[in-house]
Amino acid sequence: MAEVVVSVLLVLGAALALVGSWGVVVLPRFLSRIHGPSVVTTGGLGTLLLASLIWFWFDGGRLTGRELLVSFVLAVTAPITGHALSRAWLARHPKDPVDLGPGRDDS
Amino acid sequence: MNFTWLPWLALFGALLPGPLRRLRIDPALVAGAVATLGLGLLIRTTPEVVVLGQTLKSSVPWVPSLGLAISLRLDGLGFLMCGLILGIGLLVVLYARYYLKPEEATGRFYGPLLAFMGAMLGIALSENLLLLVVFWELTSISSFLLISFWQFSTDARRGARMALTVTGLGGLALLAGVIWIGQIVGSYELTQVIEHADVLKAHPHYPAVLCLVLLGAFTKSAQFPFHFWLPHAMAAPTPVSAYLHSATMVKAGVFLLARCYPFLAGTELWFYLVTITGMLTLLIGSFLALFQNDLKGLLAYSTVSHLGLITLLFGLDTDLAPKAALLHLLNHAVFKASLFMAAGIIDHETGTRDLRRLSGLFKPMPVTATLAIVAAASMAGIPLLNGFLSKEMFFTETLDADDIFGRSWILPVGATLASVLSVAYSVRFVRQAFFGPPATGLEKTPHEPPRWLRVPVELLVLLCIAIGVAPALLVGDLIHAAASACVQGELPPYTIALWHGFNTPLVMSIVALIGGILVYARRERLFRGVEARLSVSQGRRAFEGIVAALVGSSQRLERALRLDQVTTHLRGLLACAVLVSAWLLLPALARVSPTNTSGDLVLWVLCGVALFALAGVLLKSERPLTAIVYSSIVGLAVTLTFAYLSAPDLALTQLLVELVAILLLLAAVPHFGLPPRDKRSSPVRALDGALALGVGGAVTIGCWLMLSTDVASISRYFLEKSVPLGQGNNVVNVILVDFRGFDTFGEVTVLAIASLGILALFDHLAQRQAPSDLRPRTPLFLQSVTKLLLNLALLTAVFLFLRGHNAPGGGFIAGLTAAVGLVFVYQARNPTGAPARRPASMSRWLAAGVLLAALPGVAAMLFGRAFLTAGHVHLPLPLVGEVHLSTVLVFDLGVFVVVVATVLAILPTLGRLPLGKPTAEEER
C-alpha cells in the first residue's frame, strides 16, 4: 500500500519538477521565468521529500525529521532567492521595470 | 645551566620582545636580561677555559645521516668571541634603549637583535662545521632585518639587500667548502678535521676548498673586492652599526679564519691569498675613509681597513701573528664600537652626520667629545691606549714575516702607509667634528646627551685606556688562551707590554703619527681631483650593474621563449603529461585484454550531462557568467556520480568545493573583463588541439586500463585496518587524518601559506575603496535569512565535524560548511562596501589552525611516540553515554580552522575589490 503511494508521489514530484524546468526554458520574460524554480523547489522537491518520508516510515521503519528539515530550509530559502534574483534583475533593467507586453528577452 | 645554553638562550629569547611589548614590558629589559644571563654563564667558565686553557665540549645528535650534530665547544678563542658578543651586546642594548624613540617598533628591533646575538654565539661555539654554516646564514638573515629596520628608507632597504646578497653568496660558498672538507676528512667535527689537517692540506682539492672557505670569510668581513656592502649598511640605526658592523658580524669572517687556522693555514697559497687580500683591503679602506663626509661612512671604511689588518695578520706565517690578530680583534671591537656610539650621539643631538656641516662640538658636549677623542686616538695608535699595542704587534709581525714576491719591505711599508692614512682620518674625524668655530644651521642645538646614552661609551673608552695601560694584567691570559686555541699548539712566550724598547716598530709608529698629521694638513694639495672621482661608490655601481645585467638578460630570455605567458607553461606541462602517459600506458595497453565494461545507464546519463555542460562552457566562453553556470553543472554531475557510486564523503566534499569554487569564480570574473579574442595562429591552434586530444586520450586510456584490469589495490588494506588501527568506521576520514596524516598536515600547511600570500596581495589591493555612494543595498530578507541559515550551517558543521571519524563528515567538509554560511552572511550584509575588518586578522587564525593540527602530533612525540601517533580515550559522559574521543579530533579541528580562515580570507575581500584598473592617483 505504501509502495503505491510512494510511487504516485514520486511520479507526481518528477512531473512538477519537469513542468517547472520547462517553464524556465520556454517562458519569454525573466519575471515570468522566475516562477519556474519556485515550482521545482517547493512543489517538486516537496513532493519527492514527502515520498521519501513515507517510504522510510513504512518500509524502512524509522520516522525522522530529516525530510521535514530539508523542506523547511527549502521553503525558507526558495522565496528569498527568487526575491533577490528579481531585485538583481530590476537593478539591471531600471528603464522598464514591469512590462507585461512583449518584453525584451534577456537573462 | 652551562655554556651550551648560550645560543639557545638568545635565539629563543628573541621570541619574547615582540609579544612582551604588547604587554607594555620594555623589550630592552628582556634583551638586557638575556645578555646579562649569558655573560654570567660565560664568566663562570673563566677558570677552566681562560686560566687553564682547557676546552669544554658537548654534543647532541641532530641529523646523524648527514653528519650534522649540535656539537659545541668552548675554548679560549670561543671565549674571546662570546665575551665580545655578549659584553658589547649588553652595552648596545643599553645604548639602543635611549637611542631609539619610544614609539618606534622596538619589538621588531630587539627580536632580531637577540636572534643575531644567538646566531653569533652559535658561530663562536660551534664544533660541527655544518652547524657553523647554519648559524652563519642566521646571522645574514637577522642582520638583513636589522639593517632594514627603518623600512621607509630606500637607503636602508638597498643596503640590507646588498648585504644579504653578498654575505649570502659567501655563505653558499662556505657551505660548499665545508661539505668538501667533510668529504675529504670524513667528518664535520672540528676535532676530527684538526687531526686530519695534514691530509687536508696535501689533498689535490685543497686550493678549491680554500678558495670557497675564504670567499665566505671575505664576504662576511667586507674584504676587497667585497667591501662595498659595509658602507651601505650604515643606513641602519647606529646601535646596529655599533654592534654588527664593528664588533661582531664582520668579525665572524676573521673568526672563521682563526677557526680554520689549524687545518687550512700554513701553506703558501694561504699566505699569498690571505695576506694580499688583507693588505689591499687595509690600504683601500684607509684611503677611502679619508674622503668620507659621513661620520658613519668614515668609520665604516675604517672598519674595513682594520679588518684588512686582522686578515693580513692571519695570513702571515710567523708564530705570533695569530696572537697579534686576536689582540687587534679585541681592541678594534672596543674602540670602534665606542666610536660608532659617539657618532650616533652626535647624530642624535645635532640631527646630522655630515662632517662638512659639523664643527666646534667640543664646547656644547665636552664629555662626549673627550670620549670620542680618546677612542679616535686609540684608532690612530696613540700610546697608552689599546690601539697602540695591537699596532705595535702588527708592525713587529710584518717585519718578521716572509718575503712577498721576494721583497721583504712590501709588508712593513704597506703597514706604515696604512697607519699614516689611519692617523690622517682619525685627525680629520676629531678636528672637523669637535674643533673650529661653532656650527651654524643645525636642526637641533647640540648639548650633552642623556646620561645613560653616554654610559656605554664611557665604559668602552675606560676599557680602551685600561687595556692600553695594563694589558698583560687584563687581557694577557685571555689572548694567550685564544691564540693557543687558534693554532692548536704551543706559542712562543710573549707578554703584551707597553714598552719593548726603542725598536723598528716604534719608529714606524712615530713615522705614521707624523706622516698622518702632515697628510691631513696637506690633503687638499695631495689629493686634488681624487675626491670628485670617488663620489659614487664603485662597488655599489658594479654590484647594481651586475644585478641589472642578470635581471635584464633573464627578462629578455623569458620574452624570447614566451615564458612570461601562462599558455607556454600550460603547453609544456600538458605536452610532458601526454608524453609520460604514452610511455607508461601504451605498453600496458598492448598487454591487457579489455573486459566488458558496459557500465550503468545512470552513469552514462550523468556522463552525457557532464559532456553537454562542458560543451556549454566552451561555446559560451564569451559570456563568463553563463560559462560559470555550465561549469557548475559539470560539478553537480560529478557529485551525483559519487553519490551513485556510494561515496558520500566524496560527494559531500565535491558539492561544497564546487560551491566555494563557483563563489570564487563569480567574485573574480568581473575583474577580468571580456575575454580577449582568440589571436592564435592556425598552426598553434592545431598544436593546442592535438595537446587537448592527447591529454583526453591519455586519461581515457588510463581509466579504461584501471577499470578493466583486476588490480590488487591498497584499498583492501585500509578497509580492513581502519577500525582496528584507526578506530574509525569512515575509512576516507581515517586515511586522511590517521594513515596519511602527515600528507594532510603538509597540505594544510601549504594551504595556510598560500592564503597568507593571497592576504599579502590583498593588503595592497584592498586599500582602494569603492565609492560609498554607489553601494547597492541587498534585500533585508536576504540579510535576515542568511543569519538564520548561518546558525543552521554552523550546527551542521559541528555535527559533521564530530561524526567525521565514523560517518561521512570530517574537518574539511565541516570547515567548508561553516565557511559557506559565514560567507553568505558577509555577502548579504555588505557586498561592495569597505571590508568590515582587515583581512590580515585571518592570518592569526591560519597560524592557529596549523598549530592546532601540529599539536597532537607534537604531544605524541613528548610521550615518546612518533610524530602524529593518535591517542584514544573512551569517556563515559552522564547523559550522552560513552563517548569515544581521539586526538585526531584536535588535528581535524586544525584543518577546520585553516579551511574556514582561507575561505574567509579570500572571498569577502575578493567580492569587495573595486572593479577597473587603479587610477594614477591610487597607484601612488
* Mutation to test the B interface, candidates A74, A80, A90, most B Cβ within 10 Å: A80
Give residues with Cβ within 8 angstroms of B924, minimum separation 6.
none
> What distance in Å separates the CA atoms of residue B644 and residue B635, rounded to the nearest whole number?
14
First CA to last CA across chain B, in angstroms?
54
Is the CB of A83 less than 8 angstroms away from the CB of B789? no
User: Domain of B733?
Assistant: 728-924
* Mutation to test the A interface, candidates B623, B626, B659, B781, most A Cβ within 10 Å: B781
The sign one gets for the Cα dihedral B444, B445, B446, B452 is negative
Q: Which residues of chain A have pLDDT under 70?
A: 96-107
Interface of A with B in 5-64 (CB under 8 A): none
Is the CB of A83 less than 8 angstroms away from the CB of B782? yes
Q: Are B123 and B132 within 8 A, CB to CB? A: yes
With an 8 Å Cβ cutoff, is B788 touching chain A?
yes
The per-residue b/e assignment along A27-60, b for 16 or more CB within 10 angstroms, e otherwise, is eeebbebbebbbbbbbbbbbbbbbbbbbbbeeee
Is the CB of B781 less than 8 angstroms away from the CB of A80? yes
With an 8 Å Cβ cutoff, is B779 touching chain A?
yes
The number of C-beta contacts closer than 8 angstroms across A and B is 21
Q: Are B644 and B602 within 8 A, CB to CB? A: yes
Is the CB of A73 less than 8 angstroms away from the CB of B788? no
> What distance in Å separates the CA atoms of residue B673 and residue B690, rounded to the nearest whole number?
29
Alpha carbon distances (Å) from B191 to B128, B197, B206, B286, B485 = 9, 10, 19, 38, 12
Beta-bridge partners for B57 = B73
Compare CB distances from A84 to B626, B779, B792 and report the shortest one's residue.
B779
Answer whether residue B820 is part of any domain.
Answer: yes
How close is the nearest chain A Cα to the Cα of B776, in Å? Answer: 9
Where a domain ends, among B479, B499, B519?
Answer: B499
Q: Tell me, what's the pLDDT at B67?
A: 84
**A-chain residue closest to B783, CA distance:** A80
Q: Are B729 and B807 within 8 A, CB to CB? A: yes
> What distance in Å separates the CA atoms of residue A54 and residue A63, rounded to the nearest whole number?
8
With an 8 Å Cβ cutoff, is B825 touching chain A?
no
Answer whether residue B888 is part of any domain.
Answer: yes
pLDDT tens per residue across span B840-897: 578 889 999 999 998 888 888 777 777 777 777 777 777 777 777 778 888 999 999 9
Answer whether residue B325 is part of any domain.
Answer: yes
Interface of B with A in 255-284 (CB under 8 A): none
With an 8 Å Cβ cutoff, is B777 touching chain A?
no
Answer whether residue B683 is part of any domain.
Answer: no
Where a domain ends, among B499, B518, B538?
Answer: B499
With an 8 Å Cβ cutoff, is A73 touching chain B?
yes
How close is the nearest chain B Cα to the Cα of A84, in Å? Answer: 7
Give residues with Cβ within 8 angstroms of A54, minimum separation 6.
A2, A5, A6, A9
For residue A84, the chain B residues in CB contact (below 8 A) are 778-779, 781-782
For residue B779, the chain A residues in CB contact (below 8 A) are 80, 83-84, 87
Q: Are B232 and B163 within 8 A, CB to CB? A: yes
Amino acid at residue number B643: A
Q: Tell me, what's the pLDDT at B910?
A: 75
**B-chain residue closest to A91, CA distance:** B776
Cβ count within 10 A of residue B692: 12
**B-chain residue closest to A75, CA distance:** B785
Q: Are B235 and B147 within 8 A, CB to CB? A: yes
Is the CB of A91 less than 8 angstroms away from the CB of B782? no
pLDDT tens per residue across span B535-566: 556 777 788 888 899 999 999 998 888 887 88
For residue A83, the chain B residues in CB contact (below 8 A) are 779, 781-782
Is the CB of A73 less than 8 angstroms away from the CB of B792? yes
B874 SS3 class: strand
Domain count, chain B: 2
Alpha carbon distances (Å) from B781 to B31, B392, B687, B774, B775 = 57, 89, 52, 21, 18
For residue A77, the chain B residues in CB contact (below 8 A) are 785, 789
Answer whether residue B852 is part of any domain.
Answer: yes
Where a domain ends, among B461, B484, B499?
Answer: B499
> What distance in Å separates the CA atoms of residue B421 and residue B424, rounded to the nearest whole number?
5
Is the CB of B788 less than 8 angstroms away from the CB of A80? no
Cis check: omega of the bond before B225, within 30 degrees of 0: yes
Is the CB of B782 less than 8 angstroms away from the CB of A76? no
Q: Which helix (H) or strand (E) holds B873?
A: strand B872-877
With an 8 Å Cβ cutoff, is A98 touching chain B?
no
The per-residue b/e assignment along B155-170, b for 16 or more CB within 10 angstroms, e otherwise, is ebebbbbbbbbbbbeb
How close is the nearest chain B Cα to the Cα of A5, in Å? Answer: 24
Q: B60 — phi, psi (to 5°)?
A: -130, 125
Compare CB distances from B785 to A76, A87, A91 and report the shortest one's residue.
A76
Q: Are B747 and B811 within 8 A, CB to CB? A: no
Picking from B400, B399, B402, B378, the residue whose alpha carbon sits closest to that of residue B390 is: B378
Q: Where are the alpha helices (DSSP H) in B381-503?
A: 386-400, 410-434, 451-469, 471, 477-487
Is the CB of A91 less than 8 angstroms away from the CB of B789? no
Q: Which residues of chain B have pLDDT under 50?
A: 773, 834, 920-924
DSSP letters, B506-566, are HHHHHHHHHHHHHHHHTHHHHTTTHHHHTSS-HHHHHHHHHHHHHHHHHHHHHHHTTTTSH
Is the CB of A91 less than 8 angstroms away from the CB of B785? no
Count how many residues are written for chain B: 924
Answer whether residue B600 is part of any domain.
Answer: no
How close is the nearest chain B Cα to the Cα of A69, in Å? Answer: 10
The torsion of the CA quartet B807, B810, B812, B814, rounded to 10 degrees, works out to: 90
For residue A73, the chain B residues in CB contact (below 8 A) are 789, 792
Q: Are B425 and B338 within 8 A, CB to CB? A: no
Is the CB of B781 less than 8 angstroms away from the CB of A83? yes
B883 SS3 class: strand
Answer whether residue B488 is part of any domain.
Answer: yes
Answer whether residue B150 is part of any domain.
Answer: no
Is the CB of A83 less than 8 angstroms away from the CB of B785? no
pTM: 0.72
> What distance in Å separates the CA atoms of residue B439 and residue B431, rounded to the nearest whole number?
13
How close is the nearest chain B Cα to the Cα of A7, in Å? Answer: 19
For residue A107, the chain B residues in CB contact (below 8 A) are 626
**B-chain residue closest to A86, CA distance:** B779
Cell of B198: 695534514
For residue B782, the chain A residues in CB contact (below 8 A) are 80, 83-84
Q: Tell me, what's the pLDDT at A96?
A: 61
Interface of B with A in 365-384 (CB under 8 A): none
